[in-house]
Structure 1
Amino acid sequence: MVSAPRVEVSPSVEADQRVFMRGVSYKDYELVLLARGEASVPRISYAEGVLELMSPSRSHETLKTLIGRLVEAYAEERGLDLNGFGSWTLKNPAVERGAEPDECYTLGPPGEVPDLALEVAWTHGGLDKLDIYAKLGVGEVWFWRKGRIEIHVLRGEGFEEVERSPLLPDLDLRHLETFLDEDNQTQAVRAYRLALRGGS
């Protein structure tokens, strides 16, 4: 049975807001999705009777947007057919799992699930997203935690952390991370594009 762990956040960090509900059926989960409609928040995750509603903080949204823009800039500079789907609602009644990533992408034509899901772990706790994504069949998940992007690749029934993305093997994420402290997103993307082109 999936439990809903306690959420912890440093007092100095702007916190995401999370609410957990236990004993929720998959049918009720789908009704909650229907009631929320096309709104982008709260983001809704579900695993074996536990429903999580998450309203991301401004800092969370700013960071996930900048990471996404940098990844998209990389794909454009390298001529890759990367397609973005935002917080695509991923769900499967057969495994009683559902999630909405911060950003997600396919490389080439879209399939039933994205090739890559991006998550900003701004606070600690919540449902086990890697378990959910594994059951949903997402091939690669990136987690930003404390200034670093972790790469997790689906191997069999679970994820393995690796240093390089099999999906984007030439992308140096350590280099990309150096642009995440820039307050102005447009300037960060411009500087990153210049660096990718071999500029200073």
Structure 2
Amino acid sequence: MKIDVKKISVPPGHQVLLKDITWQEFEQILEELGESRASRLSYSDGVLEIMVPLPEHEKDKEIIGELVRMLLDALDIDFEALGSTTFKSEKMTQAIEADTCFYIQNHQAVIGKNRIDLTVDPPPDLAIEIDITSRTQFDNYRLLGVPELWRYSRQGLEINLLQSGEYVKSETSPNFPGIPIINLMNQFVKKALTQGRSQAVREFRLWIKDNI
């Protein structure tokens, strides 16, 4: 049965669940929706979730991604930022679109790639989810083998590390050893939302200058 994705309407801040979706149907939906879309997709064992984030979700995503890029540059660490790339594995019947993600140790493996197949490609070293309007799919990331997952919500940043096949909360990030990532991200995301992005970025540059 062909699914007419044009008839699927999801208002911002809401999700739609479609059940009994085959992998081929998921691939068809992914192709028809294309890359330039507001929705985020998550697929797990026949269940497809389509979510459209609110504007505040996008603001948090952009500022956190920018701060991470600034930190990596300051530390002279090579990386590839792939944004909300679709990560999928037909073998594991899993797919997820992070709000933003970074290849750090494995950056050379994905240079020039826009679509990642985790059957052959490595997972991102760091995936970031903004959980204001959606529930982060821990199982998707766990099964796809993403070693570090950040989840930012109204309660602040939470770091999860994959250990022995399960996510464990951590106060530190192995990608940024010695840096108080949780306090840093919480502080400057709040600044961006209350004082504006430009002011937050300027103050973050000063923090980097004084501490790195």
Give me the TM-score of the superposition, normalised by structure 2: 0.81
Q: Deviations over 1:28-75 (max 9, x none)?
A: 111110111122421111011110111111000001100111111111
Given the alignment, which residue of 72, 76, 90 partners 1:75? Answer: 72
Partner of 2:31: 34
| Superposed displacement of residue 17, structure 1 | 2.1
Partner of 2:50: 53
Code of the aligned partner of 1:186: S
- Check conservation: 1:154, 1:160, Cα contact below 8 A: yes
Q: CA RMSD in A?
A: 1.7
The alignment status of 1:118 with 2:137, answered yes or no, reads no
Partner of 1:92: 89
> C-alpha distance in 2, partners of 1:77/1:107?
14
Code of the aligned partner of 1:114: P
The DSSP-based 3-state class of the residue aligned with 1:53 is: strand
> C-alpha distance in 1, partners of 2:90/2:84?
19
Give me the TM-score of the superposition, normalised by structure 1: 0.85
What is the number of equivalent residue pairs in this alignment?
183
Code of the aligned partner of 2:47: V
Structure 2, unaligned stretches of length 5 or more?
Answer: 1-11, 110-120
Structure 1, unaligned stretches of length 5 or more?
Answer: 1-14
> C-alpha distance in 2, partners of 1:139/1:177?
22
The alignment status of 1:192 with 2:204, answered yes or no, reads yes
Which stretches of structure 1, 4 residues or longer, exceed 6 Å deviation after superposition? none
The alignment status of 1:178 with 2:187, answered yes or no, reads yes
- Check conservation: 1:40, 1:87, Cα contact below 8 A: no
- Check conservation: 1:44, 1:53, Cα contact below 8 A: yes
| Superposed displacement of residue 167, structure 1 | 1.8
The DSSP-based 3-state class of the residue aligned with 2:188 is: coil
Code of the aligned partner of 1:134: R
Code of the aligned partner of 1:90: F
Higher relative contact order (CA 8 A, sep 6+): 1
Tell me which protein shows more helix as a share of its residues: 2
The DSSP-based 3-state class of the residue aligned with 1:38 is: coil
Q: 1:30 to 1:160 in 2, by over 3 A?
A: same
Q: 1:86 to 1:44 in 2, by over 3 A?
A: same
Q: Deviations over 1:143-188 (max 9, x none)?
A: 0022411111111222111111112223312123111122321221
The alignment status of 1:44 with 2:41, answered yes or no, reads yes
| Superposed displacement of residue 82, structure 1 | 2.5
